[in-house]
Structure 1
């Protein structure tokens, strides 16, 4: 399982990030100051660090600089309320891989997390690098590829993300609102009809008979369930 360390001293932000990342299927550890964050980073194996800049004891810049000096190459996304270019430059010079300015949407953060993990080529520890069978379709979520009997199936980015989310919660009922928040983010809310249309398109590509679905099931009044 992919392990992510969050180093953040604002407790509501820390808990919100932790809850959402765990909901996405990641294993999450936390630290509330720079010193503890650096200690955990140097004594444990993580696939990614979300690192706040302004923290007690050690700043995010100091943590990143010290970790790199020790030879730690764990990818780092820096989080900050500051937006000045000089801070971004400093973060990158100290070894950060990416930089996101508060306030940010959950959708943007998750997209950056996935991009960093793909860019870091975490092969052995990344379950998304595997090929999964969903009905007659073989899907590689990391490579954004899908085939049926060797033929490529065209899925849009949103269709991949929706299917990925459902697969992470396979055989569980997924609430429409949770699905909307995870894919579109809390800063932009399409109507529930939007998600219904995407589910219809996915069924047309996955189900033997889209009018009699056996894989992406509707749970009336709640949402959907991927049966695998």
Structure 2
């Protein structure tokens, strides 16, 4: 049974989320502060964290940053009551896989969580011998691990799927809308800036000089292209 950690200080919202996930077959761990959420994540290592931005003590952004550093493969969805573009961008910059704006439909939250978990656990029918290679990069698709010059690179689920998608289409221009459709995998309530943020994060991890990217090329006005070398 997959486990969800809900970090939310408002009890009615926390119970609202808890009931929805329990009815869908998940086990639930609850936390009401940022510090408590970090502690319980370390103790329980849940599959997914539902994380409010405004929390007592450590705020959601810094909780996200801490959890992402310690648990690269943990799913994180951030909740925000403020429909501000900067909140969404900051959440993605700190490593969140997705965000949901309050008020929200619990079914939407569950579907978004399940989409992330599906990508986290990959395709069980894929052979562990299957790999993608491009220049110094190798992707073990079953394990969802990425190596550059034989050294593993820690990626978030979204970063991994974005890289796999680009490498799978070498020298092909992928529009931002297409990347949103593939990487997010559902009707995403966001815009192309989400792709830009993820590309920025990914470049910092895989490029020798992120300011002068060699592998992920920007195609202005359209999207991005993986440059096969």
Q: Within 2, Cα distance between the matches of 1:43 and 1:33?
A: 15
With the length of structure 2 as denominator, give the TM-score of the two structures.
0.52
Root-mean-square deviation over aligned CA pairs: 1.5
Greater C-alpha Rg: 1
1:117 aligns with 2:127: no
Structure 1 SS opposite 2:118: helix
Structure 1 SS opposite 2:12: helix
Q: Within 1, Cα distance between the matches of 2:102 and 2:79?
A: 7
Structure 1 SS opposite 2:9: coil
**Structure 2: gaps (5+ residues):** 125-229
Q: Within 1, Cα distance between the matches of 2:122 and 2:32?
A: 26
With the length of structure 1 as denominator, give the TM-score of the two structures.
0.52
Structure 1 SS opposite 2:103: coil
Determine the structure 2 residue equivalent to 1:61.
61
Distance verdict in 2 for CA 1:68–1:110, change over 3 Å: closer
Q: Within 2, Cα distance between the matches of 1:123 and 1:47?
A: 16
Give per-residue Cα distances to partners, 1:162-183, cap 9 Å, x unaligned.
Answer: xxxxxxxxxxxxxxxxxxxxxx
The answer on whether the counterparts of 1:42 and 1:72 sit within 8 Å (CA) in structure 2 is no
Determine the structure 2 residue equivalent to 1:131.
none
Give per-residue Cα distances to partners, 1:124-164, cap 9 Å, x unaligned.
Answer: 8xxxxxxxxxxxxxxxxxxxxxxxxxxxxxxxxxxxxxxxx
Distance verdict in 2 for CA 1:35–1:123, change over 3 Å: farther
Q: Give 1:122 shift.
A: 6.0
Determine the structure 1 residue equivalent to 2:20.
20
Q: Within 2, Cα distance between the matches of 1:96 and 1:114?
A: 15
The answer on whether the counterparts of 2:20 and 2:107 sit within 8 Å (CA) in structure 1 is no
Mapping of 1:32-181 within 5 angstroms? 32-121=32-121
Distance verdict in 2 for CA 1:85–1:46, change over 3 Å: same
Q: Within 1, Cα distance between the matches of 2:63 and 2:45?
A: 16
